[in-house]
Copies of this chain bind each other. A is one copy, B any other.
C-alpha cells in the first residue's frame, strides 16, 4: 500500500508501540486496548488526516479508526484485541484537501475577502466526492456543490455546514496516502500475563512415607493448591530418568542404588520425552490429572528440557543429533572443568537439524494433545534462538492459547531476545534483587518501555535450583517479605511450593545457593499439615490479587518515595483508577522500620482536601489518611507488609460521602 509516487507527500515515523524496529510482535492479552501513536507530517501547511488500521492476522479486511491529533505532528488512536491470536496494525496518513480548504476558508472569512473563487474550488471538490458516493449521499453532495457554485451567503453557509464536513469525510479521497510498515500484536490468554504458579515434584507427593508419589497423589493435593489460589501447577519433568552416570543425593557424582536421579536426566529404556516415568503413573492417569486440575481452575505446566540422558532412545536411534567425540562416544554436557556426564545436549549444528527440530516439535504436539497448554522451558538460552522462534511460531499458529515460560537465568540481552521471539513469560533476576534500590531499578526496567511491550516477568523468590542468601538468613519474615514482593510486584509469580510454604532455608553448604537435600536428587515427602506454614497468607494474597484488578496489570507499577531504605512502597492501578493499590514491605526481616510515605495524590485523583481510606487487605484494618505524606510502621515478625486497597472518598448526588 506504500507508494513511490513522487506526489506522496506524507511521511510517517515513530509508530508505537513496537518492539525494536517491528521485527517482533508486541504482546497483549485478550480484551486489552492497544493505544497506537504515530508521528505523521507533510511538507507545507496542508491539513493531514490519519487512520489506525488493524485486523486479525487471519482476516483480509482492515478495520479503521480515525486518529486524533496530539499536536507537534503526533497522532493517537486505539483498538481492542478481542480474540486470542495474532493481529496486525498500521497507520495511514494523507493530505486532507477538503479540511485544508475548509480551514483556510474560515480564515479568509474573518478577513472579509471576496470568496468567489474559493467557493468554486470547494464546489469542484464536492462534485468529485459526489462522483465517488452513491445514493442519497451522492444526491446531497451534488446539490450542495450546486449551492457552493451559486456563491453568496448561501454558499458560505453550505461551506461551513457540519453536514458537508461529515459527508466529505465519509467520501474522502486519500490522494497519495502513505502507509507505515505493518506491525503485529500477539494476543494471549489472560493467564499469559496474570498467573500464580505452584511448583511440586510429583514423586514427593505421596502421603505414605517411602512410597513414590504418583499423579493420583498430585490429584489429592489439587484442592489445597486451589484453596491457596494458584492457577498453574508446574511439574518438573515426568519422563523416565536415565541410569548411566545418575547423580546421587545432594548432587553427588555417584548414585546409591535407591537414589531416584534428577528428573532432568531425561530418557531411559522405558522411553524419552513422550513417555512417563512408570512410577508416576500412566499416560491416561496424566490426562486425568490435567482434567481434574482444570476442574479446579488450574492448568498443569510441563517442564520442557531438551536434553537427554545417555540412556535416552534418541542416543541409539539418532546419534546424528549429538556431537560425536573422536573416540566414538557422544559428547556429554560440560562447563569446564565441570562435567555433566549424565546429560547429552543436542547438537543444534548437526546437518540433520531439520529432522531434529521436527522431532522436538512433535514432543510439544504430543503433550498438547494430552491437554497441556503451558510449558516451562528449561534453559532455553542453550538452544538456538532461531529454533525457538520457529518452534513457538509453529505451535502458536495451531494453538494460539499455548503459553511458554523461559527459564533463562542468563545475560540480559539473551533473556530479552527469548521474550521477544515468543516466550510469554520469563524467569528473571528477581531472586537476586533484594534491596530497595535493586528492586526499584530492576522492576522499573521490566515494567516500563521498552521491556513492557514484550517481556512478561514471572517472579520467583526461590526455585529448586536457587535458595537466595536473603532467605537463608532471614527466617520466616524474609519469606513473607519475598512472597509479598513477588505476588504484588508482578502480575505473574510462582513459588517452589512445599519448601517455600515451610520456609525451608538450609543451604547445601555455607555460601552455596543450593538446597540441602535438594528434591532434584531425592524424594522428599512433605508434611501436608498446612497449619503453621505460609499457606494461609499465600491464600489471602492470591485472593487479594484476583479481587483487586490493579494487581493484574504490569506496566502500571510505580514506586513511591518513603524516607527509609528498608521500606519499599509501590502502587498499581487499572487505567480507569477504579482499582488502586498500595504495597509497603519492610525489607528488614529483623527489625521494625518506620517512615513517611509520599503519594502522588494528583495522579491518583485523590482530593487533597478530603481524607482517603487505606484498607489493609491482609488484616482488614482501615486507616484514614490526609494529604500526600503519611506515617507507616512495620514490625516483624507479625507485621512485615501492608497490602492496601486505596478507597477514595466520593460525593454522591445525594451529598452522602462514601469510599469507593
Which residue numbers of A lie inside 8 Å of B, CB to CB? 6-9, 11, 13, 20-21, 39, 41-45, 72-73, 104-105, 107-108, 110-111, 113, 117, 120-121, 124, 175-176, 325-327, 334-337, 348-350, 353-354, 357, 381-387, 390, 411-414, 417
Contact A6 B413 (CB under 8 A): no
Chain B residue numbers with a CB within 8 Å of A121 are 325-326
Other-chain residue from B7, B111, B335 in contact with A45 (beta carbon distance below 8 A): B335
Smallest Cβ distance from A447 to chain B, in angstroms? 21
* A9-B41 contact given A327-B117, A349-B176, CB 8 Å threshold: no
This chain: how many copies in the complex? 2
Q: Which residues does chain B contribute within 8 Å of A334, judged by CB atoms?
A: 104
A388 CB to closest chain B CB, in angstroms?
Answer: 9
**Set of chain B residues within 8 Å of A42, measured between Cβ atoms:** 384
Q: What residues of chain B lie closer than 8 Å to A414, measured between beta carbons? A: 41, 43, 73
Alpha-carbon distance A113/B337, docked complex (angstroms): 8
A-B contact pairs, 7 of them (CB 8 A): A41-B413, A43-B382, A44-B381, A72-B412, A104-B336, A107-B336, A107-B337
Closest-by-CB residue of B relative to A122 is B326
A113 partner residues in chain B, CB cutoff 8 A: 337
The smallest C-beta distance from A336 to any residue of chain B, in angstroms, reads: 4
The answer on a CB contact under 8 Å between B107 and A9 is no
* Interchain CB contact (< 8 A) of A337 among B73, B108, B325: B108
Known: A104-B336, A108-B336, A117-B325. A385 touches B353 (CB 8 A): no
Top 5 A-B pairs, shortest CB-CB distance: A111-B337, A21-B21, A107-B336, A120-B326, A104-B336
A11 to chain B: which residues have CB within 8 Å? 385, 417
In the complex, A321→B111 CA distance in Å? 29
Contacts of A349 in B (CB 8 A): 7, 9, 175-176
For A108, list chain B residues within 8 Å (CB). 336-337
Contacting residues, chain B, for A350 (C-beta < 8 A): 7
Docked Cα-Cα span, A385 to B73, in Å, equals 15
CB pair B8 A386 closer than 8 Å? yes
Q: Given A43-B381, A382-B43, are A326 and B107 neighbors across the interface (CB < 8 Å)?
A: no
Closest to A120 in B: B326
| Besides the known contacts A6-B348, A11-B417, 20 further A-B residue pairs in the complex with CB atoms under 8 A apart | A6-B387, A7-B350, A9-B348, A20-B21, A41-B413, A43-B348, A43-B381, A43-B385, A44-B382, A45-B335, A45-B382, A72-B411, A73-B414, A104-B334, A104-B336, A105-B336, A111-B336, A111-B337, A117-B327, A176-B349
The CA-CA distance from A387 to B325 in the complex, in Å, is 62
* A13 cross-chain contacts in B, Cβ below 8 A: 20, 413, 417
**What's the Cα separation between A357 and B7 when bound, in Å?**
11
- Contact partners of A72 in chain B: CB under 8 A: 411-413
Q: Closest B residue to A23 by CB, please name it.
A: B13
The answer to whether B386 and A6 touch across the interface, beta carbons within 8 angstroms, is yes
Q: How far is the CA of A120 from the CA of B8 in the complex (A)?
A: 64
Q: B110, B117, B327: which contacts A326 (Cβ < 8 A)?
A: B117
